[in-house]
Amino acid sequence: MITKALVKSIAIALAVLFSYAAVDKLEHYAQFSLQLQRFPLAIPVLFQQPWIIPVVELQIALSLLLPFSRLKGLFASLFLLSLYAIYLSCMLESRLLFTCQCGEPFQSLSLKVHIVLTLGCVFVTGVGVVLSGRIMGPSLRDLKKFPFVRPYYGQIDTSLVSSKN
């Protein structure tokens, strides 16, 4: 019960984080697009259509809030947060001017603190994925008790099938 509540609270916190980030990116779209263009690695799709990132963030937030897609949302969050940590590390390595698009609460933080905060979110998301696996694990093990759930691969009767088509 506690594990389920912890996974749910992690998912809700991540959904709020992704929703806030997506809405802020859409609010400051021109500035966000310009910042993406200054990224040292060339990713043509993101340069031409930067709206993809906030839309994906909103989709992940929605999947985190729906119980049947929560595990997929947690995996997507883990992937996106890891990519964001790599992005921040590249910004640190390239020594480009980093302007924070995180909104009021995080604007005063340095780039290194952003990286640490993002890695903390990656860790918490990983904990959510592991705990979700533990929640789903017992239910998958119980399927072995029911023989009608497992497929039956008995002898196939081919006498009804004629070779003359």
Flag whether pLDDT at 104 surpasses 90: no
Three-state SS annotation for 9-73: HHHHHHHHHHHHHHHHHHHCHHHHHHHHHCCCCCCHHHHHCCCHHHHHHHHHHHHHHCHHHHHHH
Residue 32's Cβ-side half-sphere holds a number of Cα atoms within 13 Å equal to: 20
Q: Given the structure tokens 């399927």, which residue do they identify?
A: 143
Number of domains the chain contains: 1
Mean pLDDT of 115-125: 93
Whether residue 62 lies inside any domain: the answer is yes
Whether residue 46 lies inside any domain: the answer is yes
Q: How far apart are CA 67 and CA 119, in angstroms?
A: 25
Whether residue 148 lies inside any domain: the answer is no
Whether residue 145 lies inside any domain: the answer is no
| Length of the chain in terms of residues written | 165
Whether residue 147 lies inside any domain: the answer is no
Whether residue 86 lies inside any domain: the answer is yes
Residue-range definition of the domain harbouring residue 74: 2-137
Flag whether pLDDT at 97 surpasses 90: no
Q: How far apart are CA 71 and CA 53, in angstroms?
A: 20
Whether residue 142 lies inside any domain: the answer is no
Whether residue 97 lies inside any domain: the answer is yes
- For the ranges 22-26, 29-33, 132-136, the one whose mean pLDDT is highest: 22-26
Q: How far apart are CA 49 and CA 106, in angstroms?
A: 26
Flag whether pLDDT at 122 surpasses 80: yes
